[in-house]
Structure 1
């Protein structure tokens, strides 16, 4: 059963939100990116396949992840944004980094912003993006 709102469930959007939540839980148990990359790849494909109809619900979930950013949510955001390049997510990250005082959280936002660039250094960790 989906934990997302009924409106988000229309057209399979609730499934995407559930996949995000599942990934966040499983990452704590995973031993390296090799174990989670298939789940990240599936998530990115589902988001891309959801088109514009799921974008508002996914964007809202991503904004929540960004507000409470940690290394696990960062990885989900980076992986998805390297492929999707949603401008509104980049804009929101730039707003958050300008107001963040904590050095560790600022670095997480910097790393997220870096994932919008073709030369994102962490892409090499992922089979899909390493070429």
Structure 2
């Protein structure tokens, strides 16, 4: 989760997904390399879903486009059905949910998915 915190810090300091991608790749490798910790990682991702911080949409979207964890998807869908707090976060949740699709519209923001 230190890698995720690093990505969030980078997002606060920079503009654009390209600066985040190397940290996102590291986070993905850690998540994939430690399947026994998936429950803890899922809980952390779900906690991020409720955070309006800069970079959260990119983190959740990038990681879940690959991992497609149903617990995280369910949490995002719940936030869309039953918005909590600031309803302007609805658009952020919709963007996160879109990343679970093969036709994710923001995939080209990341080299991994753009075919470049």
The question of a shared fold, defined as TM-score above 0.5 by the shorter chain, is answered with: yes
Aligned length: 114
Unaligned runs of 5+ in 1: 1-16
Q: Judging by fraction of residues, say which structure has more helix.
A: 1
Structure of higher CA gyration radius: 1
**Alpha carbon RMSD of aligned pairs, Å?**
1.4
SS in 2 for 1:121: coil
Alpha carbons 2:10, 2:19 under 8 Å: kept: no
Q: CA–CA distance in 2 between the matches of 1:56 and 1:67? A: 17
Structure 1 counterpart SS, 2:6: helix
Structure 2 residue ranges without an equivalent (≥5): none
Aligned partner of 1:78 among 58, 61, 71: 61
The answer on 1:109 being equivalent to 2:109 is: no
**What is residue 38 of structure 1 aligned with on the other side?**
22
Q: Contact 2:11–2:55 at 8 Å: present in 1 too? A: yes
Kindly indicate whether structure 1 or structure 2 has the higher relative contact order, using CA contacts under 8 Å at least 6 residues apart: 2
